[in-house]
Chain A
Amino acid sequence: MDEIRSSMDNIMAIFNDSITHSAPKKLLFNRLSTSFSDDFVASPKKRRLEQESPERSLNTSAASLNGSSTDPLSSWQTHKLRAELVETKAKVIQLRNEIDQQNREYRQALMLAENKSAALKDQCDSTSKRYSELQKEQLTLRKRELALKDEARRATSELAQLKLKYEEIVGNLQKEKYQQEEDARDVQLCINNELSEYRRMAQRSDLELQSTRTELERLRRRYEEFKARVAGHEELRGNYEMQTQSLRAANDRIQELQFEIQSYNDWKEVTKASQARLVSLPDLQAEVERLRNHNRHLNTLIGDKLLLEEQVHDYKTRLDREEGARAEAASLQVKLAHVEQELKEWVKVAQDHCLANTLVSPMALRSRIEQLLQEDIIHVAEKSASLSDSKHLQNTVRDLEQKCAIYLKNIEDLNIGLKRHKNFKERLQRKLITVSKERDFYKQLVENFDKDMTMSNASVADMTQDMQVRYRVEVLERTVTGYKEMCSTLEREIQAMRNQELLAEPVGDGYDSVKKELDTLRLENDRLRRRKEELELEMMHRYLRGDFNMKDYKVVHLKQNPAAEAYESSQNMMEKLQAEIERLKRRNKKLEDDQEQRLNETTSTGGMTLNFKEFNQLRADLESANGKMRKMKDCFKAARDEYRDVCYMLLGYRIDRIGANSNYRISSMFAEGPDDYLDISLNESSCLALLESPYSQTFNPPIDQQLAASNFPAFFSALTLELFQRATVTIN
């Protein structure tokens, strides 16, 4: 690695050297350096010129020396010297420019070379890196190769082993094959042997077959013979059978005949016995008679026995009945005793109930009982009658009570009426009194008036008017007091009456008050009924709802019920939603604030709202555009400089634009000094006009004349020619 790196470094150094050395050479092919190359192309001339010029200068100097040596300083000489000086100066400037240019170009080339070297260094680094990577890869590859080689070796060894094995196997197999081939040969031999054997056997069997066939034929023939014999035998057998059958039939016949013989013998014996019996018939008859008698006797005996048996049975039944009767009798006796006791009791009862003197008998008892029953009936009747009476009486009592109540009420009413009447009477009396009093007053009044009248008539004379008046006043005062009293009494009466009225009113108009009371009671009744109905309805409702007697019961429910869960979840949801609302509110507020701020911003920046992204993009665009512009400018500048140089070199004039107005300064290549220039301006009608300059006044014939004769290109070419000739002439 190190070796390679060092070698690479060496190569780089060599390369750099080559770059530095070959830079100008390389730059020959550069576009920008075309001028340079042109310079170079032009340079030989200049060099020649330069080379010539020293000689020339030398010549000139020599000439001048010669001139100076030969001729004294004259104006011509000075002119010539000045011209030379101007020329040299121009040359110096030219050279200086050239040097500058060359320097510039050299610097540019250097920079380019440096850039290139840097790029190459980077490349070198990258290549070295790649080289190291490749080395690593190589190492790994080597390792892999080694491993693969090992594997290959192993594989080859395995292969060899396998080859050996397979060769062995092949050998074995070949051996086996040989063996098998041998075996096969043996087998073939064996088979051949066997085959021959079999053939022999077959031949033998063929022979046997033939012999057997002949034998078979023989046998067949014999068989046929036998068949014929068999047929004969069968015929014989049939005959035999027929004979045996006839024999059997004959035997049967013989047996039958034997049976007949035997029966005949039996019959013989029977006839013999019957003959004997016939002989003993009278004895038998006698015997029959005897037996008949005996039979009769037996019959009578049997009848007696039957009779006896009947009697016995009769007795037995009688005995049974007797026993039952006895038991009955015992029970009856017991009953009898009981009944007697009862009878005694009854008799006692009868004695108790019957009259003392009468005879004790059931009849009497019955009559007694009947009597008692009748008495009972009478009693009952009496009781019912009394009950009905009592009821009737009660009814009457009730009626009476009611009547009594009515009467009492009447009495009360009457009393009330009486009271009322009394009151009325009192009132009437009082009224009477008041009326009588009134009458008295009126009487008094009348009397007074009479007195007045009489006094006015009789005692006018003896009473003074004053007295008279006084008396009248007194009388009148008295009457007034009387009236006042009456008024007060009447008022008192009225008051009393009112009080009485208040007190006596309900009592007074009874029917009305009762009616009113009835009405009010009826109203109240209606009200209460309605209330009752309402309450019943409510009761019904409450029953339907079943919420009375709730004290007796308690309400239980499962803790974990869907309602509780739903409440909880809704609570949670509510909280969540409220939190969200809060959040959104805050956000909303923030957004509102932001909007306000932004509005303020936008109003302050004159409504310019730029997206940040857009802004960045625009900035990037601007930068790229600026870069482009700079590049274009550089390019243009370079092209312009080149163009100017080319123009200058080809046409011999440098045209500079001066100031903002379209003024141009033109200086010739062959001018004597930098101050020798012409000013030209371009006016609106795109016409060129020559301005006055220090240099233009130096022209011998006025420029206007020349310009009038010819135009600008001709003038300038003439000037160039003149200047060039002047320069060459001075040299010459």
Chain B
Amino acid sequence: MSTAQATKNCITLKGSAQIIAEYLKYGINSILFQRGIYPAEDFDSTQQYGLTILMSKDPKIQTFLQNVLSQTEEWLSKNMINKISMVITNVHSKEVLECWDFKMQAESGDGDSSDPTKLTTTKELGRIQNEIRDVMRQISATVSYLPLLDCICTFDVMIHTLQNTEIPAKWDETGAVVIQNPQSVQLRSFSTGLHKVDTVVNYKMSS
């Protein structure tokens, strides 16, 4: 009976990666909408984490995020990711205007920690989702102080992985982005018990 209880409540590395990938999906879509990178009519509202989140209807963006996040999930379950950056750039000048960093920190969990690939945590899903909801709210609130993006912008998702990571097909190595005259704001963090995710927004301070 006690073992059944234990298996019922625990989150594995894979599950944690899944939760984070889901958060990234909703977070990136929310940023795309809030920052006005694509027109508002391209978005559709859904309910998640007890919030109304607008998701892009564009099939290209959907497939792109699907591809990126499935790979992210795979790497996250092996703890190979340092951080994930969503970079917003000016289309014409390619200048980086904003960079949303999602930093991943591995945690040991509260289960049996003898095997690093079979870590578990008993943190409740509801609590994790509440934490994520708080972060999502903060993301929505950033619009009030982030500078207006008054040019045509586009975005890219860059993943900072370990040096020994094999690059899969269709992926490419690129350089780190640099923002001129940057300003950083750290938002709330949330933790699944196995990963701690810090959300930081870096933006170009308009002189």
Measured CB to CB, the residues of A under 8 A from B are 541, 544-547, 550-567, 570, 574
In the complex the two chains form, is B174's CB within 8 Å of A555's CB? yes
User: Residue-by-residue, is B146-158 near A (CB-CB < 8 Å gives 1, otherwise 0)?
Assistant: 0000001011111
**Cβ A562 vs Cβ B200 within 8 A:** no
Contact B202 A544 (CB under 8 A): yes
Query: Out of B87, B91, B167, B176, which one reaches A566, CB within 8 Å?
Result: B91
Inter-subunit contact A558/B154 (CB<8 Å): no
Of all chain A residues, which has the CB nearest B163? A554
Q: Which A residues lie within 8 Å of B161 (CB)? A: 553-556
Q: When the two chains form their complex, are residues B160 and A545 in contact, meaning their CB atoms are under 8 A apart?
A: no
B202 touches A545 (CB 8 A): yes
**Interface segment out of the listed B2-10, B46-54, B60-68, B114-122:** B60-68
> Is B188 an interface residue when CB atoms closer than 8 A count as contact?
no
A560 touches B157 (CB 8 A): no
Tell me the bound Cα distance from A570 to B91 in angstroms.
7
A556, B60: Cβ atoms closer than 8 Å? no
**A555-B173 in contact (CB<8A):** yes
In the assembled complex, which residues on chain A have CB atoms less than 8 Å from the CB atom of B159?
555-557
User: When chains A and B are docked, how far (Å) is the Cα of A708 from the Cα of B103?
Assistant: 140
> Interface majority SS on A: helix, strand, loop or mixed?
helix
Q: Does B138 reach chain A (CB closer than 8 Å)?
A: no
Q: Is the CB of A566 within 8 A of B154?
A: yes
In the complex, are the beta carbons of B89 and A553 less than 8 A apart?
A: no
Q: Given contacts A558-B68, A558-B157, are A547 and B174 in contact (CB under 8 A)?
A: no
Besides the contacts A556-B161, A561-B156, A563-B155, what 7 more A-B pairs have beta carbons closer than 8 Å?
A541-B182, A544-B200, A545-B101, A545-B200, A545-B202, A555-B161, A556-B167
B171 within 8 A of A: yes
Q: Judging by beta carbons under 8 Å apart, are A553 and B101 in contact?
A: no
Contacts of A570 in B (CB 8 A): 91-92, 152
Q: Is the CB of B163 within 8 A of A567?
A: no
List B residues at the A interface (Cβ < 8 Å).
60-61, 64, 67-68, 71, 82-83, 85, 87, 89, 91-92, 94, 99, 101, 103, 152, 154-163, 165, 167, 170-176, 182, 184, 186, 200, 202
* Beta-carbon nearest neighbor of A549 in chain B: B82
Check if A556 sits within 8 Å of B91, measured CB to CB: no
The 10 closest A-B pairs by CB, nearest first: A566-B154, A563-B156, A544-B184, A553-B160, A557-B158, A563-B154, A561-B156, A559-B172, A570-B91, A553-B82
Q: Identify which of A553, A557, A560, A567 contacts B174 (C-beta below 8 A).
A: A557
User: A547-B176, A559-B172, A563-B154 are contacts. A554–B160 as well, Cβ < 8 Å?
Assistant: yes
Given that A547-B176, A553-B162, A570-B92 are known contacts, is A559 also in contact with B156, CB under 8 Å in the complex? Answer: no
Residues A550 and B176 in contact in the complex (CB < 8 Å), given A563-B154, A563-B155: yes
**Contact between chains at B82 and A546 (CB < 8 Å):** yes
Give the residues in chain B near A552, CB-CB below 8 Å: 82, 162-163
Write the nearest CB–CB distance from A568 to chain B, whole angstroms: 10
Whether A555 contacts B156 by the Cβ 8 Å rule is: no
Q: How far is the CB of B82 from chain A (nearest CB, A)?
A: 5
- The answer on a CB contact under 8 Å between A555 and B157 is no
Closest to A566 in B: B154
- Determine the chain B residues whose CB is within 8 A of the CB of A544 once the complex forms: 184, 186, 200, 202
